[in-house]
Structure 1
Amino acid sequence: MKLTVVGGGSTYTPELIDGFARLRDTLPVTELVLTDPATDRLELIGALSRRILARQGHPGTITTTADLDAAVDGADAVLLQLRVGGQAARLGDETWPLDCGCVGQETTGAGGLAKALRTVPVVLDIADRVRRASPDAWIIDFTNPVGIVTRALLRAGHRAVGLCNVAIGLQRKFAALLGTDPAALHLDHVGLNHLTWETAVRRGGPDGEDVLPHLLSAHGDTIAADLRLPRPLLDRLGVFPSYYLRYYYAHDQVVREQREKPSRAAEVADMERRLLALYADPALDEKPALLAQRGGAYYSEAAVDLAAALLRGAGSRHQVVNTLNNGTLPFLPDDAVIEVPASVGPKGPSTLPVSPVDPLFAGLMADVTAYEDLALEAALHGGRNQVFRALLSHPLIGQYEYADRLTDDLIAHNREHLPWA
């Protein structure tokens, strides 16, 4: 079995390699190819990856190459984890929107649109090359903004599934609070990528006892502090909102905080420098503890489970995927990409039934879905007016003066990645 990681020079990669090594019985990879145009980082990550496999006695081989076509040739699955523009572009995404009093974030709002515009054309080019080299390969997208990127891939007819680590992280968090095995918990997880709610946490199976009321009652203060939202809000919602909902529920507070402290991008850039220095140590043969602070926790487990279901399974349940709505949420278009539990097998994901969604959440989902549709049109076709329309539609912006200014700022900061500009 051959798997290719596009963006293999990412500091995330050792987390992924560790998962492949530990979970070899679930996904017996024989050949793993890391590809990245940043050859210096690629060789550094490749060497550490080989040491991780050797330490754990994994018999698979790891190849590194900057030749994308060679990397994807004959692949059974291709994982996308790229960042167009690198951390420098992310720093821009998180800072210039603040000048208008809007949240600076790399996956939502104006910064999220900028990332989508940079990313979608690159991903579609990669996917076309995958289809030519390995037409039966599955593409697993971990590249943000996952919802928009996955929608672009599916609209173009690619065999693609989007993946996010938020749900698997919450499953682990809830299991720790309850003192139980994570595998015993099933989440009623509903929404769009980075716009989700846990409406139930079921113990023992998809139809098991809902222990979310107990979690909110017994551990509400801990959960609220972790989300940085007030406990009374959680009590009134009666669900567990994704931490990305803080950008909506406490927008102005977040903007004040972002203006007062270093951006997450600056923190990550510093962390990456430290990680790369650790990776260069020839004695290091395991993922360092610092990597847990980088983000992407449990990414490897989620990726292995999804790849195994697509390549080996016969309809095994996967906790959460990003895939076409196709009537699952009746208030959204069929071609919207939603993030829900699904049964996954060699034919792809099939969404599982979802309980009726509270209008409080459905309305925001519908608004953001409309934005994502406009964002995809801007990414595919370019043009200042397309960018303006997407920004004006976003619930975190919504005022024409802001949308006008942010359009000019977005283009100015991303011109080198936007051929039409």
Structure 2
Amino acid sequence: MKKGIKVVTIGGGSSYTPEFVEGLIKRYDELPVSELWLVDIEAGREKLNIVGNLAKRMVDRAGLPMEIHLTMDRREALSGADFVTTQMRVGQLKARIQDERLPIKYGMIGQETNGAGGLFKGMRTIPVLLQISEEMKELCPDAWLINFTNPAGLVTEAMLRYGPHQKVVGVCNLPINMRMTLARLLDVELERLHIDFAGLNHMVYGLDVKVDGESVLDEVLNIMCDPDRQVSMQNIAPLPWEPEFIRSLGVVPCPYHRYFYKMSDILEKQLEEFKMGTTRAEVVQQLENELFDLYKDESLAVKPPQLEERGGAYYSDAACNLISSVYNDRGDIQTLNVRNDGTISSLPRESAVEVNCVVTKAGPKPITVGELPVSVSGLVQQIKSFERVAAEASVTGSYEKALLAMTINPLVTSDVKAKQLLDEMLEVHKEYLPQFSERLTHN
């Protein structure tokens, strides 16, 4: 009889891995993980060894019988897995820098999960994740794949539409961050606060906010009108909202909505940073270097607090919560990226949405939302159209579909520049876009 739980993390050399390991250690009594396999590619070998050794020290310090395996052999790791998490960056931070710098060069917002940058991160990532989906169908068909590789909404959309392995859930730290921030601003304990989330990844809204079951939405909207009390994240400028806009919107926007509702302000700030040579990707690269210097310290046996300066803090906690709730059939509510299945009535049933779900042993069960408010449904529809076309381009390598996806994204502001930007980004990233090789060869 199998003992314990086998968890596989693909992209195990990520700087986020120590947080994931900490989450497993904290939950060991309820989630007895016996094997954690950290998988990476040859280019990530050094980081995998650094992070893996820190993980081993953390487990040793906790005195737990959890084996840490480091490997480049993905198939060996996947065999018999119970849960698989994915946290990869195809092309590493060098590719992210291009995802951010090239759109700004053309006068558009550069961001790794939105606009042209998000499209290219998705097109590099989706073919790899679909390979993993095929391997899981063969080697661990009962395992859940928990993805927190960005752009999580687009990636989950592609895996649900095209992947043979359908036990897929996308997780994001954004809803957790929003809950934590609003609990602090309302001065209430986190467990008393509930947010009715609905929308798409990085395009999710709080339709209502409740404390002890009573709506405090009006109070929250007033808080969001206060320039000194903003809900934002490490990687997004906390630009204040116009009070008239927020009250008219009638729901709580997420920090990423600033890219769409405050596009000119964000772009102006990015253009200034671009001239100084400091995009967010370059800031992250410096943070990563500092983190890995810390991780090398053989006396370090805990997650360092500096990790929370990364924009993705609490990603891993979200994954650990999900794994534990599935394993223990907990029936609690978490905000996840899942198949719509009629949850949001205005979006396709087979598409990915980000909504509150009841998490059971059979997986997350989305809570019905119905129609989105008219104030937000149009933008959500537009982004879903982008994700569907972008997923198709990622799978087929269709230049025409890639151009269409780029042009219908609201952050790409000119069809002529869209084609020029697409051509340049295809050339820059061609090493990681084998599905477009025929087009690139002919050019």
Q: What is the TM-score of this pair, normalised by structure 2?
A: 0.91
CA distance in 1 between counterparts of 2:370 and 2:419 reads 39
Other-structure match for 1:250: 262
CA distance in 1 between counterparts of 2:180 and 2:341 reads 29
How far has the Cα of 1:39 moved from its partner?
1.5
Relative to structure 1, the CA distance from residue 225 to residue 73 in structure 2 (aligned partners, 3 Å threshold; closer, same or farther) is closer
Other-structure match for 1:21: 25
For the residue of structure 2 that corresponds to 1:241, the secondary structure is coil
CA distance in 2 between counterparts of 1:115 and 1:410 reads 11
For the residue of structure 1 that corresponds to 2:219, the secondary structure is helix
Relative to structure 1, the CA distance from residue 126 to residue 190 in structure 2 (aligned partners, 3 Å threshold; closer, same or farther) is same
CA distance in 1 between counterparts of 2:143 and 2:150 reads 21
Task: Assess if the C-alpha contact under 8 Å between 2:156 and 2:352 holds in 1.
Answer: yes
Task: Assess if the C-alpha contact under 8 Å between 1:75 and 1:134 holds in 2.
Answer: yes
Task: Assess if the C-alpha contact under 8 Å between 2:359 and 2:365 holds in 1.
Answer: yes
Whether 2:263 is the aligned partner of 1:259: answer no
Other-structure match for 1:387: 402
1:29 alignment partner AA: V
Other-structure match for 2:75: 69
Counterpart mapping for 1:312-327 below 5 A:
312-313=328-329, 316-327=331-342
Q: Indicate the percent of aligned positions where both proteins have the same amino acid.
A: 38
Could you list the per-position Cα deviations for residues 17-38 of structure 1 after superposition, in whole angstroms to 9, with x for gaps in the alignment? Answer: 1111112233221111111112
Other-structure match for 2:235: none
Whether 2:209 is the aligned partner of 1:194: answer no
CA distance in 2 between counterparts of 1:373 and 1:398 reads 19
CA distance in 1 between counterparts of 2:87 and 2:123 reads 16
Other-structure match for 1:138: 144
Other-structure match for 2:184: 176
- Give 1:127's match in structure 2, choosing from 118, 130, 133: 133
- Give 2:171's match in structure 1, choosing from 136, 157, 163: 163
CA distance in 2 between counterparts of 1:136 and 1:8 reads 21
Q: CA RMSD in A?
A: 1.6
Could you list the per-position Cα deviations for residues 115-148 of structure 1 after superposition, in whole angstroms to 9, with x for gaps in the alignment? Answer: 0110000111112112211111110010111111
Relative to structure 1, the CA distance from residue 218 to residue 360 in structure 2 (aligned partners, 3 Å threshold; closer, same or farther) is closer
How far has the Cα of 1:177 moved from its partner?
2.0
Task: Assess if the C-alpha contact under 8 Å between 1:189 and 1:341 holds in 2.
Answer: yes
Other-structure match for 1:7: 11
For the residue of structure 2 that corresponds to 1:214, the secondary structure is helix
2:387 alignment partner AA: E
CA distance in 2 between counterparts of 1:5 and 1:245 reads 30
| Range 102-111 or range 297-306, more displaced | 297-306
1:194 alignment partner AA: H
Whether 2:414 is the aligned partner of 1:396: answer no
Other-structure match for 1:36: 40
Other-structure match for 1:149: 155
Task: Assess if the C-alpha contact under 8 Å between 2:346 and 2:372 holds in 1.
Answer: no
Relative to structure 1, the CA distance from residue 25 to residue 203 in structure 2 (aligned partners, 3 Å threshold; closer, same or farther) is farther
- Give 1:410's match in structure 2, choosing from 425, 436, 441: 425
Aligned residues: 417
Whether 2:239 is the aligned partner of 1:228: answer yes
- Give 1:332's match in structure 2, choosing from 335, 347, 370: 347
2:119 alignment partner AA: L
How far has the Cα of 1:225 moved from its partner?
7.2
1:90 alignment partner AA: R
CA distance in 2 between counterparts of 1:78 and 1:146 reads 15
| Range 152-161 or range 5-14, more displaced | 152-161
1:338 alignment partner AA: V
Other-structure match for 1:203: 211
Whether 2:279 is the aligned partner of 1:274: answer no
How far has the Cα of 1:55 moved from its partner?
2.4
How far has the Cα of 1:347 moved from its partner?
1.9
Relative to structure 1, the CA distance from residue 49 to residue 263 in structure 2 (aligned partners, 3 Å threshold; closer, same or farther) is same
How far has the Cα of 1:9 moved from its partner?
0.2
Task: Assess if the C-alpha contact under 8 Å between 1:17 and 1:49 holds in 2.
Answer: yes
Task: Assess if the C-alpha contact under 8 Å between 2:8 and 2:81 holds in 1.
Answer: yes
How far has the Cα of 1:56 moved from its partner?
2.8
Other-structure match for 2:220: 215
How far has the Cα of 1:57 moved from its partner?
3.1
How far has the Cα of 1:152 moved from its partner?
1.7
Other-structure match for 1:287: 303
Counterpart mapping for 1:93-104 below 5 A:
93-104=99-110
Gaps of 5+ in 2: 233-237, 438-443
| Range 133-142 or range 183-192, more displaced | 183-192
Whether 2:63 is the aligned partner of 1:51: answer no
Q: What is the TM-score of this pair, normalised by structure 1?
A: 0.95
Could you list the per-position Cα deviations for residues 202-231 of structure 1 after superposition, in whole angstroms to 9, with x for gaps in the alignment? Answer: 123xxx111232233356423347441324
Task: Assess if the C-alpha contact under 8 Å between 1:306 and 1:318 holds in 2.
Answer: no
Could you list the per-position Cα deviations for residues 238-294 of structure 1 after superposition, in whole angstroms to 9, with x for gaps in the alignment? Answer: 322111111101112211111111111000001111111100000011111211101
Task: Assess if the C-alpha contact under 8 Å between 2:345 and 2:370 holds in 1.
Answer: no
How far has the Cα of 1:399 moved from its partner?
3.1
1:240 alignment partner AA: V
| Range 73-82 or range 356-365, more displaced | 356-365
| Range 243-252 or range 342-351, more displaced | 342-351
Other-structure match for 1:238: 250
Relative to structure 1, the CA distance from residue 361 to residue 218 in structure 2 (aligned partners, 3 Å threshold; closer, same or farther) is closer
Gaps of 5+ in 1: none
How far has the Cα of 1:199 moved from its partner?
1.8
- Give 1:116's match in structure 2, choosing from 119, 122, 125: 122
| Range 263-272 or range 343-352, more displaced | 343-352
